């Protein structure tokens, strides 16, 4: 009798674990939001790390407003003043620390693994943002962003092996 009871308990727990694992698999969706930094101050061409202009600071706040209703688990930025200033209003709104990243090809796969199942904002540059998106989607689709464009939003969603991506403009 004890053996039968043990087998029943074991089956109940086993079925429960299988159901929990299936539920977890079904809900493991990752969404990345990639943006380029807002308008930077170009008044000193020798300054390689300028701040945002007044318009850029306003755009950074507009990004925070855009992401207000979107759940974010992490905010990433390169370690430049303009990208950090672009990321800051959103990170503050979400009460998240900004994580720095280096835009290097060998970093991208580790980044994907580290953020699996999360919603993540990534703030980069006109050349690194499309490069990062291409690495995440495993395709060479997106080209460098024109220096005058600061309103591009790339959205990449990964659900199991299915990857969807799009580029849109947010004003």
For the cut 60, the answer to whether the pLDDT of residue 6 exceeds it is no
Residue 100 pairs with which residues in a beta bridge?
77
User: Higher-confidence residue: 91 or 16?
Assistant: 91
Percent of the chain residues past pLDDT 90, beyond the cut: 77
Tens digit of each residue's pLDDT (9 = 90 or more) over 91-106: 999 999 999 998 787 8
Tens digit of each residue's pLDDT (9 = 90 or more) over 106-121: 888 899 999 999 999 9
Q: Which stretches of 18-118 are assigned E, i.e. beta strand?
A: 29-36, 74-77, 98-100
CA angle 158, 76, 87 (to 5 degrees): 120
Which pTM does this prediction carry?
Answer: 0.84
For the cut 80, the answer to whether the pLDDT of residue 135 exceeds it is yes
For the cut 90, the answer to whether the pLDDT of residue 18 exceeds it is no
User: Higher-confidence residue: 145 or 104?
Assistant: 145
In terms of phi and psi (left: phi > 0; alpha: psi -120 to 50; beta: otherwise), the region of 138 is left
Confidence at residue 26, expressed as pLDDT on a 0 to 100 scale = 54
Gap between the Cα atoms of 150 and 171, Å rounded: 9
Confidence at residue 23, expressed as pLDDT on a 0 to 100 scale = 47
In terms of phi and psi (left: phi > 0; alpha: psi -120 to 50; beta: otherwise), the region of 156 is beta
Confidence at residue 56, expressed as pLDDT on a 0 to 100 scale = 98
């Amino acid at each position: 009798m004890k053996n039968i009871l043990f087998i029943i308990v074991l089956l109940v727990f086993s079925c429960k674990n299988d159901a929990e694992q299936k539920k977890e698999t079904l809900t493991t969706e990752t969404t990345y939001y990639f943006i380029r930094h807002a308008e930077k101050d170009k008044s000193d061409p020798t300054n390689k790390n300028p701040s945002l202009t007044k318009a850029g600071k306003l755009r950074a706040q507009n990004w925070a407003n855009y992401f207000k209703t979107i759940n974010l688990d992490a905010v990433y930025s390169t370690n430049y003043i303009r990208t950090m200033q672009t990321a800051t209003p959103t990170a503050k709104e979400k009460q998240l620390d900004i994580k720095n990243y280096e835009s290097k090809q060998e970093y991208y796969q580790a980044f994907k693994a580290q953020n699996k199942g999360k919603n993540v904002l990534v703030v980069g540059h006109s050349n690194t943002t499309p490069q990062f998106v291409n690495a995440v989607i495993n395709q060479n689709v997106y080209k460098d962003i024109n220096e005058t464009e600061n309103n591009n939003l790339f959205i990449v969603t990964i659900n199991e092996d299915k990857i969807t991506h799009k580029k849109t403009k947010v004003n």
